[in-house]
Amino acid sequence: MTPDYPLLARQLHALLDTRDWLTNSAQTCAFIMQEVGELNWVGFYLHRQPNILSLGPFQGKPACHPIPFDKGVCGTAARTEKSQRIDDVHAVADHIACDSASNAELVVPIMVKGHLWGVLDLDSPVRARFNDDDQSGIEALVKVFIDKTELPEIAPS
C-alpha cells in the first residue's frame, strides 16, 4: 500500500522545527523509516569530496562508505543528478551491496543552488518495492527537507 505522501509531507514540514541540517537529516531518516513500509535502510550520503559521496545520518544497518560517483545506484544518482529507482539491485552490474537483504532501491539527489549537496537513499528487501507514486512522494519529502533546512554548501567547487 502506497503511503499518503501529501500527509507525510505536511507531517515532515511540522516535524522539522529547526534549520540545522544535521538535526533535520537525522529526523527525516527516522520519520521516513517509521512511516514508509517495507524499508530496511534510509539515509543521506553527502557530497564532500570531488566525485565521492560520504555517509551521513541514516537508519538501518551499518552502511558503505565512501561511494564513488562511478559506482552503484547512489553514484549514478549523484553523477546524473537524477532520481534512480531500481526494482532489482542485483541486476545492476556495479551495485554496491552494503546489505545483501536489500533488493530494491530509490535514490533522490539533493540539489542546493544548482549544486549536488548529497542524496537520500532508500533500500527495501522487497523487489520492485518503489513505484511512480513512491518516487514522486519521496521527491516531495526531499523538497520539504530542502525548504526547511539551512544546507551548507559542503559540496566541492
Range of the domain at 27: 15-148
The reply to whether 1 falls in a domain is no
**Residue 9 pLDDT:** 98
Helix, coil or strand: residue 134: helix
The reply to whether 116 falls in a domain is yes
The reply to whether 154 falls in a domain is no
Give the residue from 24, 63, 51, 62 showing the smallest Cα distance to 142. 24
| Phi and psi angles of residue 15, each rounded to the nearest 5 degrees, phi first | -70, -40
Q: Do the beta carbons of residue 86 and residue 73 sit within 8 Å?
A: yes
pTM: 0.95
Return the CATH number at 130: 3.30.450.40
Number of domains in the chain: 1
Give the residue from 12, 14, 13, 60 showing the smallest Cα distance to 38. 60
**Residue 1 pLDDT:** 75
Between 97 and 30, the higher pLDDT residue: 30
The reply to whether 72 falls in a domain is yes
* Structural Rg of the chain based on CA atoms: 14
The reply to whether 9 falls in a domain is no
The reply to whether 67 falls in a domain is yes
Query: 156 pLDDT band (50/70/90 cuts)?
Result: low
pLDDT in tens, 102-111: 999 999 999 9
